[in-house]
């Protein structure tokens, strides 16, 4: 019997990544370390700018909220890419894909693991900001769930495209996992409004869910409104990019089978 | 076709694999009957591992057909994969996971019921119980081979594909692994296809051998029949004859 989608196989892959995380405390610490350090640095920067910048003074937590939400996207992408890289580093693909595991089940496990890694990494930083800077991102209320989800999904889409490039080019393209997201940072308008960008970059920003999320975040913090237009734009773009990411990933997997890369790929 | 059996477990027709300008497997045909241990024998680059990879579905053929248990592997590999398994010293299990964690993950991927009992039974059988809690990367080559074999037997496969199952093992461990495989085949009735360039191993385990050179099957038969056909004393001498006659032919052609 061939059967179809199996939650049990997705669970098996999640278990594999959780075993790995549990086996190495430096890996687990690394998840928390950077978000926490970023939050501390931007927290002090915010405190300084509160008294020197009318922009930041309008909403004290705007930079902190931005850095935390940016980390949701970055960690979301990294969560997909790191779990994927673990299989390349351990040269495990040849064993995995002689089991009944489907590539799309593996993909779902990678995305689920990304949620777990984001939760482990970013939520402690969000909680730490409360005693340190008397700022709680949770005061954003329900819009926070929307921002969080939209950025996470964009991170997934990016992660899947990076994984596809890794499947095509092997570990020579490994650094993309850490660097690719920063290519989008300027046009994402994380710390400043889209309006300050040059005209052509504003057009690029319109195509990024992240730019809509950060515009929406500033609207929520400065004007206390939830901008449905930005939400719909970000959600629509996310849906397109996630579908593109999934298709590109599955095509790259098929290409790897054609080239014999599943047996050879590794360090 | 080997053995003249009407329902082979593996049936390969005109199987071809090209990597750009390189013809790695050149239109081979063979069949392996149920319960047999067959060997793909050849030097480095002969096409053994490429053939195994296509049988496993890890590599897509450029041309030809593969049927396993009567199913077309290119269209219905997921019907077949639960009934087969694979082991190779060149494909690692994750090093940081303990032996038990690795077997647990793979057991769940195969949907094995009562997995704890299955792992315990295999651990006892393959003498790996004492290092179930050890990270796989800290095992010796011999221990790692036994763990890889435990992984390959988790789903009690009816078809076992092995790529050089005793490579880099000392003679004692290699002999133990060969003995274990013989017992497994006898007790389970499984079919085994192994790729090797260890002549002693092939002579001991295989009832049928396919000699490969440059992606082609250049001869086939039982080890005894091949030895007699070439008028040699051992399979190794047959292998060397075939390999060197190929080099000679190539030199002739080049001149």
> Given the structure tokens 């000392």, which residue do they identify?
B170
pLDDT score recorded for residue B166: 85
Of chain B, the percentage scoring pLDDT greater than 90 comes to 66
Query: For residue B186, what are the contacts with CB-CB under 8 A and spacing of at least 6?
Result: none
- Residues of B with CB below 8 A from A260's CB? 19, 50, 53, 58-59
Q: What is the pLDDT of residues A70-82, one digit of tens each?
A: 999 999 999 999 9
pLDDT tens-digit series, residues A199-225? 999 999 999 999 999 999 999 988 899
Joined together, the tokens standing for residue B164 give: 């050089």
Contact B94 A92 (CB under 8 A): yes
pLDDT at residue B2 greater than cutoff 70: no
Q: Which of A9, A20, A23 has the CB atom closest to B109's CB atom?
A: A9
- Among A2, A11, A19, whose Cβ lies nearest the Cβ of B76? A2
- Which of A20, A99, A260 is facing B109, going by the closest CB pair? A99
* Nearest residue to B194 via CA among B242, B186, A265, B185: B185
Query: Is B49 close to A94, i.e. CB distance below 8 A?
Result: no
Instruction: Identify the residue whose tokens are 């991102």.
Output: A137
Q: Which of A176, A156, A3, A186 has the alpha carbon at shortest distance from A85?
A: A176
Q: How far is CA B242 from CA A214, B44, B237, in A?
A: 69, 14, 9
CATH number (3.90.1150.10, 2.40.100.10, 3.90.1170.50, 3.40.50.300) of B10-90+159-254 reads 3.40.50.300
Q: Count of CB atoms within 10 A of residue B43's CB?
A: 15
Q: pLDDT grade, residue A194 (50/70/90)? A: very high
pLDDT at B119 > cutoff 70: yes
Does the pLDDT at position A247 exceed 80?
Answer: yes
Q: What is the pLDDT of residues B84-116, one digit of tens each?
A: 999 988 788 999 999 999 999 999 999 999 999
Count other Cβ atoms within 10 Å, centred on residue B37: 22
The Cβ of residue A40 has, within 10 Å, a number of other Cβ atoms equal to 15
Give me the interface pTM, i.e. the ipTM: 0.87
Domain positions in chain B: 10-90+159-254
Q: Which residues of A touch B105 (CB under 8 A)?
A: 12-13, 15-16, 19
Q: Write A210-213 long-range contacts (CB < 8 A, 24+).
A: A210/A70, A210/A73, A210/A151, A210/A154, A210/A184, A210/A234, A211/A187, A212/A150, A212/A237, A213/A69, A213/A147, A213/A150, A213/A151
Q: Give helix A62-89 / helix A142-169 axis angle, nearest 10°.
A: 30
Give the dihedral of Cα atoms B87, B89, B94, B95; nearest 10 deg. 140
Which pLDDT does position A83 carry in this prediction?
92
Whether residue A14 has pLDDT greater than 80: yes
Alpha helices (H) along chain A? 7-23, 25-50, 54-58, 62-89, 93-96, 103-133, 142-169, 176-183, 185-188, 199-206, 209-218, 228-259, 261-264
Q: What is the pLDDT of residue B250?
A: 46
Q: Which of A27-41, B122-136, B143-157, B186-200 has the lowest mean pLDDT?
A: A27-41
**pLDDT for the residue numbered B3:** 44
**How big is the A-B interface in CB pairs under 8 Å?**
105
B81 with A86: Cβ contact below 8 A: no
The yes-or-no verdict on residue B255 having pLDDT over 80 is no
The whole-model pTM stands at 0.89
């Amino acid at each position: 019997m061939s059967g179809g989608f199996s939650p049990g196989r997705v669970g098996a892959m999640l278990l594999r990544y959780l075993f790995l995380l549990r086996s190495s405390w430096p890996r687990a610490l690394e998840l928390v370390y950077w978000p926490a350090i970023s939050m501390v640095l931007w927290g002090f920067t915010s405190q300084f700018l509160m008294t020197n910048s009318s922009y930041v003074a309008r909403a004290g937590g705007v930079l902190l909220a931005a850095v935390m939400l940016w980390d949701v996207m970055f960690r979301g992408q990294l969560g997909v890419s790191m779990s994927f890289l673990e299989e390349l580093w351990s040269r495990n693909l040849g064993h995995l894909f002689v089991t009944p595991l489907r590539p799309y089940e593996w993909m779902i496990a990678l995305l689920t693991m990304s949620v777990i890694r984001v939760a482990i990494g970013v939520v402690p930083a969000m909680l730490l900001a409360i005693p340190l800077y008397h700022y709680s991102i949770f005061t954003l209320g329900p819009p926070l769930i929307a921002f969080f989800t939209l950025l996470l999904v964009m991170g997934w889409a990016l992660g899947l495209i990076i994984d596809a490039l890794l499947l095509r080019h092997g570990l020579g393209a490994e650094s993309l996992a850490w660097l690719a997201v920063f290519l989008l940072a300027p046009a994402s308008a994380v710390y400043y409004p889209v309006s300050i960008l040059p005209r052509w970059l504003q057009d690029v920003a319109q195509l990024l869910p992240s730019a809509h999320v950060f515009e929406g975040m500033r609207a929520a913090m400065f004007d206390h409104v939830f901008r449905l237009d930005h939400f719909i734009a970000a959600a629509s773009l996310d849906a397109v990019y996630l579908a593109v990411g999934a298709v590109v990933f599955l095509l790259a997997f098929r290409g790897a089978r054609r080239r014999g890369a599943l047996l050879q790929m590794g360090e | 076709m080997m053995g003249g059996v009407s329902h082979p477990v593996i049936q390969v027709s005109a199987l071809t694999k090209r990597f750009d300008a390189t013809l790695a497997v050149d239109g081979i045909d063979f069949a392996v009957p149920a319960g047999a241990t067959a060997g793909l024998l050849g030097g480095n680059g002969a096409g053994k591992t490429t053939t195994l990879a296509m049988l496993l579905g890890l590599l897509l053929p450029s041309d030809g057909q593969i049927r396993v248990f009567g199913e077309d592997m290119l269209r219905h590999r997921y019907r077949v994969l639960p009934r087969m398994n694979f082991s190779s010293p060149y494909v690692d299990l994750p090093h940081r996971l303990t032996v038990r964690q690795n077997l647990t993950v793979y057991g769940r991927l195969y949907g094995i019921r009562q997995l704890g009992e299955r792992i315990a039974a295999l651990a006892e059988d393959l003498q790996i119980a004492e290092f179930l809690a050890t990270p796989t990367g800290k095992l010796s080559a011999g221990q790692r081979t036994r763990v890889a074999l435990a992984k390959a037997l988790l789903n009690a496969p009816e078809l076992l594909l092995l790529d050089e199952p005793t490579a880099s093992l000392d003679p004692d461990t290699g002999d133990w692994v060969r003995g274990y495989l013989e017992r497994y085949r006898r007790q389970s009735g499984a079919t085994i296809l192994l790729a090797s360039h260890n002549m002693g191993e092939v002579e001991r385990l295989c009832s049928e051998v396919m000699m490969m050179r440059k992606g082609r099957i250049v001869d086939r038969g039982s080890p005894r029949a091949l030895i007699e056909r070439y008028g040699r004393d051992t399979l190794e001498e047959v292998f060397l004859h075939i390999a060197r006659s190929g080099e000679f032919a190539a030199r002739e052609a080049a001149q």
